[in-house]
């Protein structure tokens, strides 16, 4: 057993902030999600004028979120960035502990418990006592044993990487399924940056130019706008507070929707339930504001009783013209995303209102072809889900083995 302070040495490289200098600022994600750039800011806009310089390879802790696993290693691209005193930095003594081994230890439940035991204050502002943290003792194998453990862990990591690549390829195939079945061709414009492929929505944003076939499709019949599939008017969601309790009614926010169109496990209940916001089978939701503008969700009764939040717009779909499941997949495809990028208004934050969505152009083949596309994508998603579950199992197995090796528990 060795005190954490035996291999972590506090770094205090002071930076007096200069008004005309541009600084990178750092933040540490919770749940061991890594160290990332928060933003870049000129010194004149930075309030705290005495900060500290971060160096690549240093260990960093968020005093406030340490109890939630906010630890990490400064990456090379953030060498020279600045942090406040709430993000203490440490040089790692690699004669005693390998940096990657340290990073691995910080992911364990035991290490997070150490951090929690060293944090005090009100629930939302608990700060870690750094001196107490450095006094905590952890098992510290020899360097050769650390390398051996890392090698074993790396084997799991390689398997996870292989599965992640498989998921990436499957998701590409999901995207290509719609494009291929509709005969839509991506084109690369000379004005695009860094080789980004742009579907030419600039030329086909309105119906009068959609007719010119700039967007090539093997289907001659293109329905001009989203409104052709909508019954009635769009409806905005409830403007009520969500509370973290289980109830018979879920409050669906756009942050609850996964990229594949399913709901996550973050169940929140509405403070007040108004029946006019209750969702029915195949109600179609689209986010109208913020960074998730254009994100879509198709409600099914299997999700249970639910109402929807105010940043979402609800549409009732005419199922005699379009399969709701096809519409969901289409709104996750490249052409629709390009329309979102073209149509959103940015005034403080991205925004497309309920009426504007009705003007969204949509490629819609016959119902038989829609069913074919939906089935193909459904089959591909099953493979994605299987690979995702395998990754979760591998990670849990690796973490359990590591925890047992280090802490004998």
Q: What is residue 221's predicted lDDT score, i.e. its pLDDT?
A: 47
Q: Are strands 250-252 and 306-308 parallel, antiparallel or unpaired?
A: parallel
End-to-end CA distance of the chain, in Å? Answer: 15
DSSP per position, 327-368? HHHHTTSHHHHHHHHHH-EEESEEE--HHHHTT-------HH
Least confident stretch, 181-190, 298-307, 382-391: 181-190
Task: Determine the pLDDT at residue 225.
Answer: 86
Residue with tokens 């403080």: 348
The residues pairing with 316 across neighbouring beta strands, listed in sequence order, are 231
Q: What is the pLDDT of residue 157?
A: 87
Check residue 289 and give its pLDDT: 86
- The pairing of beta strand 89-92 with beta strand 59-61: antiparallel
Average pLDDT of 71-90?
94
User: What are 61's strand-pairing partners?
Assistant: 71
Beta bridge partner(s), residue 312: 287
Task: Using the predicted structure, report yes or no on whether residue 399 has a pLDDT greater than 50.
Answer: yes
pLDDT score, position 203: 37
Backbone angles phi, psi at 253, to 5 degrees: -110, 160
pLDDT at 238 over 90: yes
Residues 306/299, Cβ–Cβ less than 8 Å: yes
pLDDT higher than threshold 80 for residue 362: yes
The region of weakest confidence among 119-123, 155-159, 245-249 is 119-123
Domain 141-183+366-409 has CATH 1.10.287: yes
Average pLDDT over residues 201-229: 51
For the cut 80, the answer to whether the pLDDT of residue 123 exceeds it is: no
Query: At 137, is the pLDDT very low, low, confident or very high (cuts 50, 70, 90)?
Result: confident
Decide: 364 and 321 in contact? Cβ < 8 Å.
yes
- Say yes or no to pLDDT of 396 above 80: yes
Instruction: Report whether pLDDT(319) > 70.
Output: yes
- pLDDT at residue 217 greater than cutoff 60: no
Most confident of 28-37, 129-138, 313-322: 313-322
Instruction: State residue 223's pLDDT score.
Output: 55
Q: What percent of the chain has pLDDT over 90?
A: 54
Residue 346: the pLDDT is: 65
Domains of the chain, residue spans: 2-107+134-140, 141-183+366-409, 185-217+222-364
**185-217+222-364 placed in CATH 3.40.1010.10:** no
Over residues 180-203, the pLDDT tens digits come to 888 877 654 444 444 344 444 333
- Summarize pLDDT for 323-355 with one digit per residue, the tens: 999 999 999 988 898 889 888 776 667 889 999
Residues 6+ apart with CB under 8 A from 146: 97, 98, 101
Enter the CATH code of domain 2-107+134-140.
3.90.220.20
Across the beta sheet with 312-317, the strand order is 230-236, 312-317, 284-287, 296-298
- pTM for the model stands at 0.68
pLDDT at 216: 45
Higher pLDDT, 187 or 111: 111
Query: Which residue would you say has higher pLDDT here, 214 or 136?
Result: 136
User: What pLDDT was estimated at residue 190?
Assistant: 40
**Mean of the pLDDT values across residues 144-148?**
91
pLDDT of residue 348: 64
Does the fold of domain 185-217+222-364 match that of domain 2-107+134-140?
Answer: yes
CB contact at 8 A, 212 and 204: yes
Query: What's residue 342's pLDDT?
Result: 83
Q: Which H or E element spans position 308? A: strand 306-308
User: Burial of 227 by CB count in 10 Å (0-12 exposed, 13-18 middle, 19+ buried)?
Assistant: middle
Tally Cβ neighbours within 10 Å of residue 388: 16
Of the chain, the percentage scoring pLDDT greater than 70 comes to 88
Give the rounded distance of the alpha carbon of 276 from its chain centre.
31
């Amino acid at each position: 057993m060795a005190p954490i302070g035996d291999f972590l040495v506090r770094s205090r490289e002071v930076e007096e902030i200069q008004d005309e200098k541009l600084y990178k600022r750092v933040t540490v994600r919770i749940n061991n999600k890594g160290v990332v750039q928060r933003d870049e800011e000129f010194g004149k806009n930075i309030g705290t004028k005495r900060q500290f310089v971060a160096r690549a390879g240093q260990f960093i802790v968020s005093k406030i979120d340490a109890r939630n696993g906010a630890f990490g290693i400064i990456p090379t691209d953030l060498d020279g960035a600045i942090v406040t005193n709430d993000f203490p930095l440490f040089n790692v003594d690699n004669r005693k502990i390998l940096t990657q081994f340290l990073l691995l230890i910080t992911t364990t439940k035991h290490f997070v418990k150490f951090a929690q035991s060293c944090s005090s204050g009100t629930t939302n502002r608990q700060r870690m006592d750094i001196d107490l943290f450095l006094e905590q003792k952890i098992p510290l194998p020899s360097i050769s044993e650390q390398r051996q453990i890392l090698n074993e862990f790396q084997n799991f990591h390689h398997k996870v990487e292989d599965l992640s690549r498989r998921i990436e390829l499957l998701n590409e195939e999901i995207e290509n399924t719609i494009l291929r079945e509709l005969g839509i061709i991506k084109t690369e414009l000379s004005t695009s940056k860094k080789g980004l492929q742009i579907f030419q929505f600039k030329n086909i944003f309105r119906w009068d130019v959609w007719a010119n076939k700039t967007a090539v499709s093997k289907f001659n019949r293109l329905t001009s706008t989203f409104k052709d599939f909508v019954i009635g008017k769009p409806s905005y969601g409830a403007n009520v507070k969500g509370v973290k309790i289980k109830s018979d009614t879920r409050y669906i926010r756009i942050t609850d929707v996964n990229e594949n169109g399913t709901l996550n496990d973050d169940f929140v209940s509405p403070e007040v339930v108004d029946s006019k916001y209750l969702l029915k089978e195949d109600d179609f939701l689209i986010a109208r504001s913020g960074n998730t503008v254009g994100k879509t969700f198709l409600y099914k009764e299997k999700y249970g009783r639910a109402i929807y939040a105010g940043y979402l717009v609800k549409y009732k779909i005419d199922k005699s013209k379009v399969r709701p499941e096809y519409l969901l997949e289409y709104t996750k495809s490249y052409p629709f995303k390009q329309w979102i990028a073209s149509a959103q208004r940015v005034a403080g934050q991205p925004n497309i209102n309920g009426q504007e969505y009705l003007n969204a152009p949509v490629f819609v083949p016959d119902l038989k072809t829609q069913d074919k596309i939906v089935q193909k994508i459904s089959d591909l998603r099953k493979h994605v889900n299987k690979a995702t579950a395998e990754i979760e199992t591998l990670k849990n197995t690796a973490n359990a083995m590591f925890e047992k090796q280090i802490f004998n528990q």
